[in-house]
Structure 1
Amino acid sequence: MAAATPPLLLRVAGVRFLGQGVAYSLENDQLRQLHWALQTRWAATLRPQDLQPLRPHITVQNKVLPAVARTLHEQLAADFEPYDITGTGLALWAYRGGPWEALEQFPFEGT
């Protein structure tokens, strides 16, 4: 699926407070459709967490005290203006009780 998908123009739409971290929210309908198609294809093998709706984001900060996260959120949100970036593919990661392990890259190659 990734090979048939062209690079995606993603909108960095806002700054999101995560409780113990901060992220930039991303928007793109094609990305949501691709996610849904992959969920549908693999539904029988996914865990409940993997079946949740997509909330695409770029994590800036994670696993800090809420007060620290709130401070960074306020700083980033104060002068944030939406902008566009390009999504160039998908990455497959595994969590095996420790840090995440990068397994494979799937570039967007469509035209």
Structure 2
Amino acid sequence: MAVDVEAPGLTPVHRELSRAYVEWLTPQDRQPFRPHVTLMNKATVEEAKAALAELGAGWSAFDSHSPALLLWRYLGGPWESVRRFPFTGRAG
């Protein structure tokens, strides 16, 4: 279960990174960009329905911002934090 994220400024960042690292992208990485926050992963249908019922009643959109882009490496199960890239506000 996921929540869509409206972040127009994120699309150009994603496009630039995709172009720079095209030779290393997996088929999953090459899918259309749909920013989202994953609330549940690998849940059963019953678990997802129960969570949606619980969250749905009180869920509302909210504004937020991100101070940086985080790079993670997938290790076949766990993830490893690799680097933090702060947003400086300067065009690169």
Is 1:78 aligned with 2:57? yes
Length, aligned pairs only: 90
Let me know the Cα RMSD of the aligned residues. 1.6
Q: Using the aligned pairs only, state the percent identity.
A: 38
Distance in 2, matches of 1:97 and 1:104, equals 19
Is 1:110 aligned with 2:80? no
* Structure 1 match to 2:26: 47
Cα distance per residue 1:56-103 (max 9 Å; x no partner): 222222222221111111221223221111111111111121211111
TM-score (norm 2): 0.83
Cα distance per residue 1:12-58 (max 9 Å; x no partner): xxxxxxxxxx2222111110121011111211221111111222222
Secondary structure of the residue that 2:59 maps to in structure 1?
coil
Secondary structure of the residue that 2:39 maps to in structure 1?
strand
Structure of greater relative contact order (alpha carbons < 8 Å, 6+ residues apart): 1
Is 1:57 aligned with 2:36? yes
TM-score (norm 1): 0.71
Structure 2, unmatched stretches of 5+, are none
